[in-house]
Amino acid sequence: MVLLTDETVYTVSEITRQIRRSLEEEFPLVRVEGEVSNFTAHSSGHLYFSLKDEGAQLRCVMFRSRRRRMIGPLPSNGMAVRALGQITVYERSGQYQLSVIELRPAGIGALARAFEELKHRLAEEGLFDAVHKQPIPKFPGRIGVVTSPTGAAVRDIIRIIGRRFPLARLILAPVQVQGEGAAREIALAIERMNRHRLADVLIVGRGGGSMEDLWAFNEEVVARAIFSSAIPVISAVGHEIDFTIADFVADLRAPTPSAAAELVVPDRQELAGVIAGARQRLLSAAAGRIGRQRERVVTLVRSYGLRRPADLIAGRMQRLDELERRLQLASERHVALRKRLLDSTTRHLASLGPQAVLARGYSVCRRLPDGAVVTDGGVLTGGELLDLWFARGGAECRVERATSTRRDLLTLEDS
């Protein structure tokens, strides 16, 4: 303890340094819980804010080098947080502050609320809808793995895929999977895989941990990167009981990284069994067909035609002669029938000709001298000359009387 006398006088800097030393010795490391206010994320990467409660407030700073130990989403005004840090004095302004080493939401309830809020909002936008889910290829040639290069997850994935389907090529995108900047790294790795089409399918995940450890996979930037991926994505985060936002957005959720490795490729032993079964079925089908064809050949060899081909040909020739004779007779009958029909038609046409009509007693009457054919006696007058044609020969005559009807003519002749 410093003893003061009447002669002791401090400069402002000296007393400020003394206060700083006393505070740092008294509170080397403290945990403080309060509500965030006056939050500012500086372009330098440092975070400045205050923690307050009903009775007081405490200025806080979290330097960029410490941000990787921040758990959960970036703080915002009104958020309840718990900070671990050291009490220091900023000598230039003479104000004391908390230099934050670790920052997390106050209690798991705050993380759960943040999780549910983001989940609800993304669901409203349709990011979880089944219509957007892409099918996982059955035989992927290139498998992208977005995870930590040093964790157990990547070792399990390499081991299982190597055992099940060694033809697949693994492409690792090493990322930080927790802490400050992890979510951004994961999202950028997914985007890079898509931009260069490096893989046929992606496994995105990590091993198990607390909710805080897995929080990077609950960040919106990761969810939107998965949703925008043209490459199908399998999420594999934590243990079977763990669910993250990434699981809801991904095309397929695997409960663990090991399970993802099992799901993403077929098992070569199972494939070998399938191929062997198909080969056996093919051989059986071929043998059956060959057997049936062999039976047909044997039947043909034993048939009458192959044993006595000359007799078979003679029988066919006899049949051909019979068909030729029947064709000749049918042709002759057809020609005779058509000839009779032609003769009948000719006779009928001849009976309708002018000469045949005249032969039946009719005549043709023409007026002289113009030769006009007379069909109506009413047009004639007494004294006109007429030329009459008969079946044989003709005559000229002069009209004595004329009438328009045959009946009248008969009546005049009778009188």
Domain boundaries of the chain, sorted by first residue: 10-105, 109-265, 269-309, 353-397
Distance separating alpha carbons of residues 263 and 251, to the nearest angstrom: 12
pLDDT of residue 247: 95
| Residues facing residue 85 across a β-bridge | 30, 100
CATH number for the domain running over 109-265: 3.40.50.2300
Cα separation of 217 and 177, whole Å? 8
C-alpha–C-alpha distance, residues 30 and 36, integer Å: 17
Report the alpha-carbon distance of residue 166 to residue 140 in Å, rounded.
11
From the CB of residue 170, how many other CB atoms can be counted at a distance below 10 Å?
16
For 15, the 3-state DSSP assignment is: helix
For residue 208, what pLDDT is reported? 84
Supply 1's token pair: 């303890």
For residues 394 and 396, what is the distance between their CA atoms, to the nearest angstrom? Answer: 7
The values of phi and psi at residue 60, to 5°, are -135, 150
| Total residues belonging to the chain | 415
Question: Which candidate, 203, 133, 217, places its Cα nearest to that of 161?
Answer: 203
The SS3 call for residue 39 is strand
Report CA 252 to chain centroid distance, whole Å: 17
Class for domain 10-105, per CATH? mainly beta
What pLDDT is recorded for position 180?
81
Same fold, 10-105 and 109-265: no
Which residue type occupies 414? D
Which DSSP symbol is given to 302? H
**pTM over 0.85, yes/no:** no
What DSSP string describes 105-123?
A: ESSHHHHHHHHHHHHHHHH
Rounded (10°) CA dihedral 246, 248, 253, 256: 50
Q: In sequence order, what are the residues at sequence separation of 6 or more whose Cβ sits closer than 8 angstroms to the Cβ of residue 300?
A: 306
Q: How far apart are CA 73 and CA 114, in angstroms?
A: 8
| Secondary structure of residue 106 in the 3-state scheme | coil
3-class secondary-structure state, position 389: strand
Grouping H, G, I as helix, E, B as strand and the rest as coil, residue 237 is strand
Give CA–CA dist 341/337, Å, rounded.
6
In order along its 415 residues, the chain shows pLDDT tens digits of 455 555 777 788 788 788 888 877 777 888 998 888 888 888 888 899 989 888 888 899 998 888 776 766 777 777 788 889 988 887 777 788 888 988 887 765 667 778 888 999 999 999 999 999 999 999 999 999 999 999 899 999 999 999 999 999 999 999 999 888 899 999 999 999 999 999 999 999 998 887 778 889 999 999 999 999 999 999 999 877 778 999 999 999 999 999 999 999 998 888 878 888 888 889 888 888 888 888 888 887 777 666 667 776 777 888 888 888 898 888 889 988 988 898 888 888 877 777 777 778 888 888 888 888 888 887 888 888 888 888 788 888 988 887 776 654 444 343 3
Q: Please tell me whether residue 151 adopts helix, strand or coil conformation.
A: coil
- The H or E element containing residue 220 is helix 220-228
**pLDDT value of position 414:** 39
